[in-house]
């Protein structure tokens, strides 16, 4: 893993913004005006999805995907000017937050500047035409990292943006050579010391499929050599299968607990219920009590927490990547719970602990962070059921850090009333 990665990243809340659809106007200025609210929610880092111009050739939808980039060194005029972008970043910094931007280095749009200037830097099909390795991504063409000139160009672009922003979320980072990321990190560190590196790592079946086709694809363990934070797609498919009743909750709990033993001691996972590629949490979990529990569990997990713009409004609709499709901010306001959980995320036991998750009868997750004689205990009734839950804590009353009031431990049991419970104690 990147040796300088701090465990304090586990206390961070990252707020993801799709500029086109975050506000009605879909501009940098629209996002800038919303920053005080996002800060009040408790965000530490603003992640801006790709800010660059979008290609026109093979475009999907009316406006195209922001991940089909035409030019790495300018901003999408749909969003505003470079000056508008700088003003947005300045305000993010002024509010005490950090800003990271999307890096899409596996591919470009077919009509990108690079494709015109350096066609030799791209993957070509047997007939010599541009191509890509993932057929569904019909609006992009893949880069070919066997060319040293491509490395120098892309790292130069990173250093340019690192003079303005604090880090990068790297799209499908698993399909880009690990040695490139290591070198990029080392060079960017000279421009932006402490730069934050977030990898979109991929699902295990995707890794197998790519390797089966003869293509390199990094595991999460490999990616941790260069990145501070990796996606949790290694367990996300198990999470959704449990929601659909296809797998027992116990299998998800085991998968999460296993991360403690297969990754480095300072690993940081990005924890989320939704992101721009996956269904909204309020759509996946329509029951409000169940959603309260899963949301509390999200923040209790070991790792950085991700909120996707609109999640705090209970928006059930995932905005289209390819069209103007603004977030619906009129839904049920979940900000009160999120503000409490964002504040709780700073608890020192989330920073450095031994973490264990168990599934109990009644569809309950019991999770514990332990460090020495101290522990944080979380009880999450993910179906909203009311059941007694055994806990390793002395009898007594404790403040419920997940909500109002107190929780009682009696005879080593907590009476779960269907709402999330988090409390700090010694061990029994």
Which residues form the catalytic set?
171, 200
Residue 209's alpha-carbon distances to 64, 145, 172, 217, 272, in angstroms, are 27, 20, 14, 9, 24
Closest among 222, 226, 246, 243 to 234, alpha carbons compared: 222
């Amino acid at each position: 893993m990147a040796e300088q990665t701090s465990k304090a990243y586990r206390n961070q809340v990252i707020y993801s913004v799709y500029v086109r659809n975050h506000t009605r106007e879909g501009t940098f200025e629209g996002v800038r005006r919303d920053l005080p609210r996002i800060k009040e929610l408790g965000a530490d880092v603003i992640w801006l999805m790709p800010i660059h111009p979008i290609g026109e050739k093979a475009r999907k939808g009316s406006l195209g995907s922001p991940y089909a980039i035409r030019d790495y060194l300018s901003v999408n005029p749909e969003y505003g000017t470079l000056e508008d972008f700088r003003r947005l970043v300045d305000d993010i910094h002024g509010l005490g937050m950090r800003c990271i931007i999307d890096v899409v280095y596996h591919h470009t749009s077919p009509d990108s500047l690079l494709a015109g200037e350096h066609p030799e830097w791209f993957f070509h099909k047997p007939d010599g035409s541009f191509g890509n390795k993932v057929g569904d991504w019909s609006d992009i063409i893949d880069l070919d990292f066997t060319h040293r000139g491509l490395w120098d160009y892309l790292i130069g672009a990173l250093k340019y943006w690192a003079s303005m922003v604090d880090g990068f979320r790297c799209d499908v980072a698993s399909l880009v050579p690990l040695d490139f990321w290591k070198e990029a990190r080392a060079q960017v560190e000279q421009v932006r010391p402490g730069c934050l590196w977030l990898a979109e790592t991929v699902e295990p079946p995707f890794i197998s499929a790519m390797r089966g086709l003869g293509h390199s694809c990094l595991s999460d363990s490999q990616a941790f050599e260069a990145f501070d934070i990796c996606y949790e797609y290694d367990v996300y498919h198990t999470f959704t299968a449990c929601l659909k009743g296809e797998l027992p909750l116990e299998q998800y709990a085991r998968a999460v607990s296993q991360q403690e033993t297969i990754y480095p001691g300072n690993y940081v996972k990005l924890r989320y219920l939704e992101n721009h590629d996956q269904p909204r949490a309020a759509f996946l979990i329509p029951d409000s009590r169940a959603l309260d529990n899963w949301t509390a569990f999200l923040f209790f997990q070991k790792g950085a927490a991700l909120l996707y713009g609109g999640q705090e409004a209970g928006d059930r609709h995932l905005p289209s990547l390819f069209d103007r499709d603004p977030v619906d901010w009129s839904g049920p306001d979940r900000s009160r719970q999120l503000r409490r959980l964002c504040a709780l995320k700073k608890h020192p036991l989330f920073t450095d602990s031994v973490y264990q998750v168990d599934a109990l009868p009644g569809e309950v997750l019991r999770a514990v962070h332990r460090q020495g004689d101290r522990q944080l205990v979380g009880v999450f009734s993910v179906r909203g059921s009311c059941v007694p839950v055994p806990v390793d804590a002395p009898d007594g009353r404790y403040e419920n850090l997940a909500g109002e009031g107190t929780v009682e431990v009696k005879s080593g049991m907590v009476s779960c009333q269907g709402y999330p419970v988090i409390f700090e104690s010694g061990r029994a």
